[in-house]
């Protein structure tokens, strides 16, 4: 298939203006002569619209950020920069400190982004279920439809089997997967909204004798700066929280009838979806990969083929 239509005519560039005009005139005449047949074909065409699957868009974004985070090679056991007593050379200390703090600052930003997005990714999957499976009497009533999709996320999850067709059993919000997700949402809210939760933000205890601090435990400069940020952002929690989201999704899928489950899984894994604008049918219109080619002058085909072979190795890496 092709995403565009092109007409290539070799040798026309060497023709005179009169020949070019005559050729274009003949083409226009052909269009006029076949107008009725073209009109019949147009009436048979199905009108589809392509749209992005919000759940898959978020999953791909999370995957990309996690890969970038992994590529930084964060090693909390071996990364700390020794303080001045252990590294008296100020230039060496400052250079090492600058390199490590820049890397960790980037990692903290990526971690914060992933942890903020993970609960939303699960919410997007719930919304996808509602879109795909909502009962007709709700979907066709704007007020009821809007009420169903704008409920708090826990209500949306609890009522999935009531609002949607295709569920073989009711969703039990007391299930472990749901309870863990509920905890994750609360954690995300504290993180994202900057809630002042002392028990979660606390990082040290000490005493004062007048104005003299008495530390229970002495910390290095690294521990009191990068270490505090590392613990407050929760870098170690990224993989655990992704597992919580995946567990919720798998639990919701397990509540579906087997045939419906297969349908939802196929739709959920695709970023680009299609909908028939006449009857509302959903479709997977194209494969995941894209290929772009163009015809060339036969006399240069050998040269183009050689160039393509030369670029094949790099293109393969880019595609992977």
**Using CA atoms, how far apart are residues 53 and 271, in angstroms rounded to an integer?**
5
Higher pLDDT among residues 208 and 15, named by residue: 208
For residue 308, the surrounding DSSP H or E stretch is helix 301-319
Token pair, residue 20, equals 């070019």
Tens digits of residue pLDDT in 34-54? 888 888 888 888 899 999 999
- Judge whether residue 259 has pLDDT over 60: yes
Higher pLDDT among residues 279 and 129, named by residue: 129
Q: For residue 238, name the pLDDT band (cuts at 50, 70, 90).
A: confident
- Judge whether residue 250 has pLDDT over 60: yes
Residue 8 φ/ψ, nearest 5 degrees: -110, 125
pTM: 0.75
Give the sheet arrangement for strand 282-283, strand by strand.
48-52, 272-276, 282-283
How far does CA 90 lie from the centroid of its chain?
Answer: 43
pLDDT on residue 308: 46
Percent of the chain with pLDDT over 90: 39
pLDDT on residue 74: 78
SS3 40: helix
**Using CA atoms, how far apart are residues 259 and 250, in angstroms rounded to an integer?**
15
pLDDT on residue 194: 67
- Judge whether residue 100 has pLDDT over 50: yes
**Using CA atoms, how far apart are residues 225 and 233, in angstroms rounded to an integer?**
12
67-76, 120-129, 160-169, 264-273: range with lowest mean pLDDT: 67-76
Q: For residue 175, name the pLDDT band (cuts at 50, 70, 90).
A: very high
82: which DSSP letter?
P
């Amino acid at each position: 298939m092709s995403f565009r239509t092109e007409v290539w005519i070799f040798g026309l560039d060497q023709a005179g203006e009169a020949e070019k005009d005559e050729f274009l005139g003949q083409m226009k005449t052909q269009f006029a002569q076949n107008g009725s047949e073209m009109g019949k074909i147009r009436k048979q065409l199905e009108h589809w619209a392509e749209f992005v699957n919000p759940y898959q868009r978020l999953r791909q974004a999370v995957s990309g950020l996690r890969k970038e985070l992994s590529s930084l090679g964060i090693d909390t056991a071996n990364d700390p920069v020794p303080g001045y007593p252990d590294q008296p050379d100020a230039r060496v200390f400052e250079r090492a400190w600058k390199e490590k703090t820049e890397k960790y600052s980037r990692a903290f930003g990526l971690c914060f982004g992933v942890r903020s997005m993970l609960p939303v990714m699960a919410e997007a999957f719930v919304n996808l279920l509602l879109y795909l499976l909502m009962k007709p009497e709700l979907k066709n009533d704007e007020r009821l439809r809007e009420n169903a999709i704008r409920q708090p996320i826990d209500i949306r999850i609890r009522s999935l089997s009531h609002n949607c067709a295709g569920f073989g059993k009711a969703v039990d919000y007391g299930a472990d997967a749901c309870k863990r997700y509920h905890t994750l949402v609360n954690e995300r809210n504290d993180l994202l909204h900057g809630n002042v939760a002392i028990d979660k933000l606390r990082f040290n205890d000490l005493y004062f004798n007048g104005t003299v601090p008495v530390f229970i435990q002495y910390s290095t400069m690294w521990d009191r700066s990068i270490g505090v940020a590392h613990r407050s952002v929760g870098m170690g929690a990224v993989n655990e929280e992704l597992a919580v989201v995946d567990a919720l999704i798998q639990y919701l899928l397990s509540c579906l009838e087997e045939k419906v489950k297969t349908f939802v899984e196929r739709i959920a894994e695709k970023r680009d979806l299609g909908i028939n604008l006449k009857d509302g049918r959903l479709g997977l219109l194209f494969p995941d990969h894209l290929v772009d080619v163009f015809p060339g002058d036969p006399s240069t085909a050998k040269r183009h083929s050689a160039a393509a072979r030369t670029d094949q190795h790099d293109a393969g890496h880019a595609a992977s």
